């Protein structure tokens, strides 16, 4: 059997660990051979390939990013994109495709399955917002990086008696903010799921200053004030209709400074959260996803995504995984609210 592999969307620590597991088990246990498609869906559309065998996956387990490259190309927005993919797969003699990606990449995988292409999905995103899996790989690494940043920012905030606003990624789901905020002992955590009241945030900040502590406010990039809107870096949309968010942290730090008279600073963690080597947890999760994905492809079990349920790796329908986003439930947010102020 010949299997194509691609990685799409924003990069994420653990992508290479999946690729390695897919190829190692695919070659050594099942006797398959592989072709790598470069740069997400752009690869099969434009016939951009690279060799993918045991040699190519040696020594990549701990490496961040993706050896295959990535892009946010949407074949359904490219003229003749789907036909081009089918043509490339036929030319390359590919029997199955393993697509590693988030909501957008796997949404395409679902549509392609309906259009007769054999695809198995693997859930990746630092945002942890894919449905039907308890966790996506990359999330643990992002939380780890954000928590370390909060710990470091706390000492400078305390020294200068400043409020520090830490803006983390998370367009529609506040999982990174919630987990890093809880782990880092933030005084306020703001998520896209619950518009915030600026007066209340300022009240919590003041309470913290009264107790001689410097407040740390963790805010997801997609969080917005009640009655307000998301803060955008640019209104321009990508091929999946996403605008580029960013700036809510600076906006909030300015509001806090103006209303409290205290110094405030904002730090935007941005792509640092997606960079570098994956944590041990993400290496193991990504490896187990890869092993299950190549088994699914071997069995011709297409239209599925591998998923974590408890401690088991299972298969779920791509449709189940992509129909809605997994956002932070109000009861999980309420756990964090206990520590506000």
Active site residues per annotation: 127
Which pair of tokens denotes residue 217?
A: 């406010």
253 binds ligand F6P (CB under 6 A): no
Distances (CA, A) of 206 to 203, 340, 341: 5, 12, 8
Of 127 and 206, CB closest to ligand F6P = 127
Task: Retrieve residue 112's tokens.
Answer: 């392609």
Give the three-state DSSP class for 20.
helix
Task: Return the number of the residue (26 or 170) whose C-beta is nearest ligand F6P.
Answer: 170
Task: Choose one: 53-61, 152-160, 168-176, 296-304; the region binding ligand F6P (CB under 6 A).
Answer: 168-176
| Residues 8 and 124 sit within 8 Å (Cβ to Cβ) | no
Residue among 127 and 282 whose Cβ is closer to ligand F6P = 127
Contact between 170 and ligand F6P per CB under 6 A: yes
- As to burial, measured by CB atoms within 10 angstroms (0-12 exposed, 13-18 middle, 19+ buried), residue 242 is middle
Cα separation, 277 vs 279, whole angstroms: 7
| 305 DSSP β-pair partners | 121, 316
Tell me if 64 contacts ligand F6P by CB under 6 A.
no
Closest approach, Cβ 156 to ligand F6P, in A, equals 25
- Using the contact rule CB under 6 A, the part of the chain among 87-95, 113-121, 124-132, 261-269 near ligand F6P is 124-132
CB of 123 to ligand F6P, least distance (A): 12
Terminal-to-terminal C-alpha distance of the chain: 58
Residues touching ligand F6P: how many (CB under 6 A)?
13
User: Which stretch in 23-31, 90-98, 120-128, 284-292 sits in contact with ligand F6P by CB under 6 A?
Assistant: 120-128
219 sits near ligand F6P (criterion: CB under 6 A): no
By beta-carbon proximity to ligand F6P, the closer residue of 229 and 338 is 229
Burial environment of residue 230 by CB neighbours within 10 A (0 to 12, 13 to 18, 19 or more): middle
Nearest to 106 by CA among 339, 316, 329: 316
Task: Kindly state whether residue 125 participates in binding ligand F6P, applying the rule CB under 6 A.
Answer: yes
Q: Say whether residue 18 binds ligand F6P (CB under 6 A).
A: no
Q: Which of 13, 12, 10, 7 is nearest to 279 (CA)?
A: 13
Task: Using the minimum distance from each CB to ligand F6P, give the nearer residue, 126 or 294.
Answer: 126
Binding of ligand F6P at residue 169 (CB under 6 A)? yes
Residue 325 falls in which region: left (phi positive, over 0), alpha (psi -120 to 50) or beta = beta
By the rule CB under 6 A, 327 interacts with ligand F6P: no
One residue of 22, 126, 223, 231 binding ligand F6P per CB under 6 A: 126
Closer to ligand F6P by Cβ: residue 89 or 285: 285
Residues 259-318 that bind ligand F6P (CB under 6 A): 274
- Can residue 192 be called a binding residue for ligand F6P (CB under 6 A)? no
Rounded to whole angstroms, how far apart are CA atoms 70 and 282? Answer: 19
Angle of CA points 71, 142, 99, to nearest 5°: 35
- 127 sits near ligand F6P (criterion: CB under 6 A): yes
Report the residue number, 25 or 179, with the smaller CB distance to ligand F6P.
Answer: 179
For CA atoms 140, 141, 142, 148, the dihedral sign is positive
Is 9 a binding residue for ligand F6P by CB under 6 A? The answer is: yes
CB of 245 to ligand F6P, least distance (A): 6
Distance CA 105, CA 42 (A): 11
The answer to whether the beta carbons of residues 195 and 228 sit under 8 Å apart is: yes
**Which residue has the closest beta carbon to ligand F6P?**
10
The verdict on 20 binding ligand F6P (CB under 6 A) reads no
Please list the alpha-helical segments (H only) found in 4-100: 15-28, 42-46, 81-92
Residues that bind ligand F6P (CB under 6 A): 9-10, 102, 125-127, 169-171, 221, 244-245, 274
């Amino acid at each position: 059997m010949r299997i194509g592999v691609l990685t799409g969307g924003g990069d994420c620590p653990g992508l290479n660990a999946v690729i390695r597991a897919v190829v190692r088990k695919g070659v050594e246990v099942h006797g398959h051979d592989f072709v790598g498609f470069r740069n997400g869906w752009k690869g099969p559309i434009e016939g951009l390939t690279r060799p993918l065998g045991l040699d190519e996956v040696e020594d990549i387990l701990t490496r961040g990013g993706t050896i295959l490259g990535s892009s946010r190309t949407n074949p359904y927005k490219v003229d003749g994109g789907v036909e081009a993919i089918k043509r490339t797969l036929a030319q390359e003699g590919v029997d199955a495709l393993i697509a590693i990606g988030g909501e957008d990449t796997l949404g395409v995988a679902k549509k392609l399955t309906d259009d007769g292409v054999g695809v198995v999905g693997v859930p990746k995103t630092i945002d942890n917002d894919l449905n039907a899996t308890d966790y996506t790989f990359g999330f643990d690494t992002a939380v780890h990086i954000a928590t370390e940043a909060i710990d470091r920012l706390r000492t400078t905030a305390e020294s200068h008696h400043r409020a520090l606003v830490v803006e983390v990624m998370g367009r529609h789901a506040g999982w990174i903010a919630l987990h890093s905020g809880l782990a880092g002992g933030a005084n306020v955590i703001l998520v896209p799921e619950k518009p915030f009241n600026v007066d209340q945030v300022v009240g919590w900040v003041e309470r913290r200053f009264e107790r001689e502590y410097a407040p740390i406010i963790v805010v997801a990039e997609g969080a917005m004030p009640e009655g307000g809107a998301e803060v955008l870096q640019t209104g321009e949309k990508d091929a999946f209709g996403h605008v580029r968010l960013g700036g809510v942290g600076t906006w909030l730090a300015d509001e806090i400074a103006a209303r409290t008279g205290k110094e405030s600073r904002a730090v935007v963690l941005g792509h640092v959260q997606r960079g570098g080597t994956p944590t041990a947890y993400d290496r193991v999760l990504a490896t187990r996803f890869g092993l299950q994905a190549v088994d699914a492809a071997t069995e011709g079990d297409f239209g599925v995504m591998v998923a974590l349920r408890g401690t088991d790796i299972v298969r779920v329908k791509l449709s189940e995984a992509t129909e809605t986003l997994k956002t932070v439930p109000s009861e999980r947010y309420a756990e964090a609210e206990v520590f506000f102020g």
